Structure 1
Amino acid sequence: MVLRPSSISKLVVFGFGLAIVPLVLVIVSVTLSIAHFAEQGQVSILRAVAMSDAANRMNNAVRSMERYGLQYTVLQDQALLVLYDQSFSEYQKASTQFAAAGPSPVDLERLHHLAENLSRARQLLPLVSLEGNRSALAGDFSRASGEAQSLQSDVNEGISTEVGKLGTRALAIKRLTIFEVLLVLPLSVAVAIVFIILITRPVRRLDQAVSGLGAGDLETPITVKGPRDIASLGDRLEWLRNRLNALEAAKLHFLRQLSHELKTPLTAIREGSELLQDDLGQNLSAEQQEIVQIVGDNSLRLQRLIEDLLRFSLAEGPVGAGMVQELSLTHVVEDLLLSYKPSLRSNALHLETRLEEVRIRGHADRLRTICDNLLSNAVKFSPQNATIRVDLQVQDEDAVLDVQDEGPGVDPDEREKIFDILYRGEASDSGKIEGSGLGLAIAREYVLSYGGSLELQDKKTPGAWFRLRLPLAGQDASHAHHSADTDGMRQHPGPSSSV
């Protein structure tokens, strides 16, 4: 069983704690080392001060005893013996302090010899009347003085040695600190990076899931692993995705059902108006015929609106894999241009085409609907004697269809709105039948389902310029220049043809 933190805040706290633990250990280790070093240094300094002071006092006491002793041998004054004994007492106190400071075995041996010489010299002082005793006393004092001076020299040398050891120890602590920091810092950084990934990955997955839902991706399941609160949010998003899928399916079902239900009575109305116009029109007055004509035109318009609505509902649905096939987009455009021949002639519109042979994968009816919406808008909004330009070519391994007209164009504020469902622009339609507001919305839905794009390009001259971009069927798609005559319409790269 994998243990997971209950919340991302706990994961952050745990990760932060785990990242700083090595640094805390280094700080504790360095602190203890420095404290131990400071303690050792303090002990060494106090010991050195005590030994140096004791050695100095012993040396002074020995010199005093030597002076008083030699004076006594000459003057035989008892006061000098008292002074000698006082110096000897001071020497004993200093030697006791020196021994308590923990001298080396060599220094203890010297201290022992020094004490023996001084004790023997004290015993010889009352007997200085004898010539041999004077010589022995002088020898004892000389040896005692030498031992005291050697002892003080050893103490000074020991202090220098101890100072050197303290410096070496300080350098070792410094190197150890640097080594521990260099060892632990990458570890802490690595732990921090691991937890940053563990924290940001589920959050990034949530962001991707929300972005996918916002972009309309309702097919990809949402699975978020991580802390329980983040995983719970992922589960809620998955529930939301399923709910949106259900609502989308219900909406499509409603639109299809509504479209089919409306088409039945509408067909009866349209057929009735056609019968009145064809067979019974001779018995109708002019006003009645006008009313019948209005009923027929509006029933036809309503039928087109219903068909567009049904087509839009299908556009939002998935494309069946079996419906997608490789086909010539060039032939689709050519067939549409032939069907617009009467409209072009009746409005005295000129057509300029540049069509390369381009093959793509798609659904024939959907591709025809896309191109039909672009061409119908160009014809609808173009004034008489205007020119419509249709270019089909390959750019960057994509099929690119450009449709340009010389109509009123699109207001900059409406550049994206015109692709919204049921949106009608403010531009004049030159008295033609008003559109349903679904054509460009349907076209863009179809284009997006193929992984392409449909955009309004900037145009310096009056009119609108729509660019359709679709992926090619394959890398080796042929795009040789295509030229053909189609019943009075000529496709060529240069001059325009009038229809």
Structure 2
Amino acid sequence: MAKLQATRGSFQQLLLFAFLLITALLVGVALRSVFQYDALMTQSRDAAARALTLSGAAQSLAERSAAMERAGRQSLVLNDAVLRKRFNDAARDASATLDKLVENDLAPASADTWRQQLDLIGGLMIGNADSALQRESSMAMQFRDLDALNTQIAQQAQFLIETQNNALAQRIENARKRVMRQVIAASVLAVSLALAFGVWLARPFKRLQRAIVGLGENRLDEPIDIRGPADVRRVSQQLE
């Protein structure tokens, strides 16, 4: 009879090996999907924190600007040192908020324009009492321009948030497609391995069946030498 190459291990051991191999393949795909999910969740949390920072900073900048206007104009009218200090404190806080916006990708040119406008306003705080009312009127107009800049910065911050969200959504969609491809590929490979192992392990049993049929038909002169799993070889030797 035709021979198969000898295989170490019993039929049960080979089945267990095939099962573990297919399981390892599927577990590997599952673990990779989990790692990708964790990475996306981290990116999502970072994006949410950045969006909160941008929107909060834009709102804070507008609030600090309003505080500067109140303190600055009242300081000019009343010539009050306490109000001047409030103006300076609000200006310092607003500048720090602007730095935070730049750190989160606000265009530096917008920040520079805002600071130039603040310098113009700060210059109006200097002068004698006779020009205070005139400077206060000019300051009101300069703050209108500053408000317009605040609106532009808020719009830029919103655009950054939307761009970030769109990019994150695209990454999530790409990851979903990638995971689907991996799952499909792993499933196809697992089925292929299962079929291959099934066919490979079934061949010795078919030969064993033919040998038993041959014995039943008294073809005793034909040697029985079936190579395959250890337990199949033992049966082959017993039949021989």
Partner SS for 1:61 = helix
Question: Separation in 1 of the partners of 2:232 and 2:97?
Answer: 78
Letter in 1 for 2:118: L
Correspondences of 1:438-449 after superposition (within 5 Å): none
Q: Is 1:28 aligned with 2:31?
A: yes
- Structure having the higher helix fraction is 2
Q: Which residue of 2 aligns with 1:227?
A: 229
Match of 2:172 among 153, 170, 173: 170
Q: What is residue 360 of structure 1 aligned with on the other side?
A: none
Q: How far is 1:192 from its partner?
A: 0.7
Q: Distance in 2 between matches of 1:70 and 1:150?
A: 23
Counterparts of 2:76 and 2:163 in 1: how far apart (Å)?
42
Aligned AA (1:26): V
Partner of 2:120: 120
Query: In structure 2, what is the Cα distance between the partners aligned to 1:30 and 1:45?
Result: 22
What is the CA–CA distance in structure 1 between the aligned matches of 2:59 and 2:136, rounded to whole Å? 27
Does residue 37 (structure 1) correspond to residue 34 (structure 2)? The answer is no
Contact 1:114 1:144 in 2 (8 A): yes
2:16 pairs, out of 13, 17, 27, with 13
Select the structure that is richer in strand: 1
Counterpart code for 1:148: N
Letter matched to residue 22 of structure 2:
A
Matches of 2:127 and 2:143 in 1, distance apart?
Answer: 15
CA contact (8 A) 2:6 2:228 kept: no
Q: 1:237 to 1:53 in 2, by over 3 A?
A: same
SS in 1 for 2:125: helix
SS of structure 2 residue aligned to 1:127: coil
Are the equivalent residues in 1 in contact too, given 2:61–2:94 (CA < 8 A)?
yes
CA distance in 1, matches of 2:109, 2:6: 70
Does the Cα contact within 8 Å between 2:205 and 2:232 map onto a contact in 1?
yes
Give secondary structure in 2 for the equivalent of 1:225: coil
Aligned 1:34-113 pairs, distance under 5 A: 34-100=37-103, 102-104=104-106, 106=107, 108-113=108-113
* Alignment RMSD (CA, Å): 2.7
Whole-Å Cα distance in 1 between the matches of residues 203 and 37 of structure 2?
Answer: 42
What's the CA shift for 1:135? 5.7
Task: State how far apart, in whole Å, the 1-side matches of 2:29 and 2:8 are.
Answer: 28
Measured in 2, the distance between the counterparts of 1:99 and 1:161 equals 16
What is the alpha-carbon distance in structure 2 between the residues aligned to residue 233 and residue 112 of structure 1? 89
1:143 aligns with 2:145: yes
Equivalent residues of 1:198, 1:226 under 8 A apart: no
Alpha-carbon offset, residue 214 of structure 1: 4.8
Aligned-pair CA distance for 1:182: 2.2
In 2: Cα distance, 1:6 partner to 1:211 partner: 26
Q: Is the 8 A contact 1:70 1:138 kept in 2?
A: yes
Alpha-carbon distance in 1 for matches of 2:152, 2:6: 73
Change (3 A) 1:3 1:161: farther
- When the two structures are superposed, what TM-score results if normalisation uses the length of structure 2? 0.82
Deviation at 1:155, TM superposition (A): 0.9
CA distance in 1, matches of 2:202, 2:127: 99
- CA distance in structure 1 between the partners assigned to 2:237 and 2:35 by the alignment: 50
How many Å apart are 1:75 and its aligned residue? 3.1
CA distance in 2, matches of 1:3, 1:73: 101
Residue 123 of structure 2: SS of its match in structure 1? Answer: helix
Tell me by how many angstroms 1:195 deviates. Answer: 0.4
Deviations 1:16-70 (A, max 9, x none): 2333344334223322322222222221111111121111111110111122222
Give the percent of matched residue pairs that are identical in Structure 1 and Structure 2. Answer: 23
Does residue 205 in structure 1 map to residue 229 in structure 2? Answer: no
Whichever of the two has the greater Rg, that structure is 1
CA contact (8 A) 1:55 1:148 kept: yes
Q: Secondary structure at the match of 1:126?
A: coil
**By how many angstroms is 1:139 displaced?**
4.3
- Using the TM superposition, give the Cα deviation of residue 173 of structure 1 relative to its aligned residue in structure 2, in angstroms: 1.5
Q: Take 2:206 and 2:6, find their aligned partners in 1: how far apart are those partners?
A: 21
Contact 1:37 1:170 in 2 (8 A): yes
For the residues of structure 1 that align with 2:229 and 2:201, how far apart are their CA atoms? Answer: 8
The structure 1 segments of at least 4 consecutive aligned residues displaced by more than 4 Å after TM superposition are: 131-136, 214-217
The letter of the residue matching 1:186 is: V
TM-score (norm 1): 0.43
Between the aligned partners of 1:124 and 1:32, the Cα distance in structure 2 is 58
Matching of residues 40-439 of structure 1 within 5 Å:
40-100=43-103, 102-104=104-106, 106=107, 108-127=108-127, 129-130=130-131, 133-134=135-136, 136-214=138-216, 216-238=218-240
Which deviates more, 131-140 or 141-150? 131-140
| Alpha-carbon distance in 2 for matches of 1:209, 1:127 | 115
Q: Distance in 2 between matches of 1:3 and 1:103?
A: 67
